[in-house]
Amino acid sequence: MYNQFWKNRSVLVTGGTGLLGSELVKQLVESEANVVTAVRDNVSKSRFFIENLHEKVTVVHGDVIDFPFLERVIGEYEIDTVFHLAAQTIVRIANNSPLSTFESNMRGTWNVLEAARLHSKKIRSVVVASSDKAYGESKTLPYDEETPLKGKYPYDVSKTCTDLIAQSYWYTFKMPVNITRCGNLFGPGDLNFSRIIPGTILSVKRNEPPIIRSDGKFIRNYFYTKDAASGYLTISENVENHAGEAFNLGTEERFSVIDITKMILKLMGSSLEPVIKNEATNEIYEQYLNINKAKEKLRWTAKYSTEEALKETINWYTKYV
């Protein structure tokens, strides 16, 4: 959907080939922004390439852990707005390879913020992707933005640190930074088939029982990338009134893993039964967000129900995968 606000703005998206990044790039391109996308790996099957988004933006190749690369890109392309999405996002990988997760998620964040600080006269807005996982485990649910950040496990800790690093650039340097904390993202183009939604869709396509790694009772918000991207844009558009603030983004629907799996099976007309392996470790059992702050301060709310979003997502995989 076209948004006049973004016309001709110079925008850097890190992680632009990822699940949320591809959708955010798409919405920015539709609004005639001048988009620069930092790409580490050419993932040929990603939505970014399948839908030819790479032909509509400037692609720069490099890694967010490379500070000179980021500083050059922000300076040479006269970047006005930064959306920092690049991260290692898989909990299982973080448990197996914590160092690479810390490097990508923490070093990548301070590099982006420091590069932006060096060009602060030009920078209007920086939006940093944290996560609901930054809160860690809490006995009080849903999480609101005042809930303490206290991740315990490697991925959660990386996001707690990402969040605090971003906050420090506001408190110390008055960088026009905002932080997003989202629920479990899903949508077209997710190639991490270990995640329950794309994994279940792929299993049905192959006529194989979907695999649930946990006991199936973990509770989460499931959040559509179209709504997430609109939330990111809305936050950036309102930075003058809300610089330094964090916002929860998500839906007010929540589901267990087994419930979301069964919803997909029903929507796909499948009689398959999931296999529950109960192998998941070092993950938060129950987690969902209060989004009243975004609703009240930004007048933002998710437009899609989980069922509507799943239908669109299933249609994308039917077409492309």
For residue range 211-238, what is the model confidence (pLDDT) as tens digits?
Answer: 998 888 899 999 999 999 999 999 999 9
Predicted TM-score of the model (pTM): 0.95
Nearest to 114 by CA among 38, 47, 166, 36: 166
Mean pLDDT of 272-282: 85
- For residue 84, give the CATH number of its domain: 3.40.50.720
pLDDT surpassing 90 at residue 23? yes
Residue 215 belongs to a domain: no
CA pair distance 29, 21, nearest whole angstrom? 12
Neighbours of 220 (CB within 10 A): 20
Annotated catalytic, 155?
yes
Residue 205 belongs to a domain: no
Segments forming the whole domain that contains residue 140: 9-183+224-252+288-303
What share of the chain has pLDDT > 70, as a percent? 100
Cα Rg of the chain, angstroms = 19
pLDDT surpassing 90 at residue 283? no
pLDDT surpassing 90 at residue 1? no
Using CB atoms within 10 A of its CB, is residue 171 exposed (0-12), middle (13-18) or buried (19+)? exposed
pLDDT score of 284: 81
Residue 15 belongs to a domain: yes
* Catalytic residue from among 153, 155, 232, 304: 155
Q: Kindly report, residue by residue over 105-120, the tens digit of the pLDDT.
A: 999 999 999 999 999 9
Residue 56 belongs to a domain: yes
Residue 203 belongs to a domain: no
Residue 92 belongs to a domain: yes
CA pair distance 174, 176, nearest whole angstrom? 6
pLDDT surpassing 80 at residue 280? no
**Strand-pair category, 34-39 with 219-220:** unpaired
Residue 269 belongs to a domain: no
What's the number of CA atoms in the CB half-sphere (13 Å) around residue 284? 27
Residue with tokens 């919405």: 27
pLDDT surpassing 80 at residue 308? yes
From 100-109, 133-142, 197-206, the region with the lowest mean pLDDT: 133-142
Cis peptide before 142 (omega within 30 of 0): yes
Q: What is the DSSP string of 203-231?
A: HHHTT-PPEESS-S--EE-EEEHHHHHHH
Residue 109 belongs to a domain: yes
Count the domains in the chain.
Answer: 1
pLDDT band at 43 (very low <50, low <70, confident <90, very high): confident
pLDDT score of 24: 98
From 186-200, 209-223, 244-258, 278-292, the region with the lowest mean pLDDT: 278-292
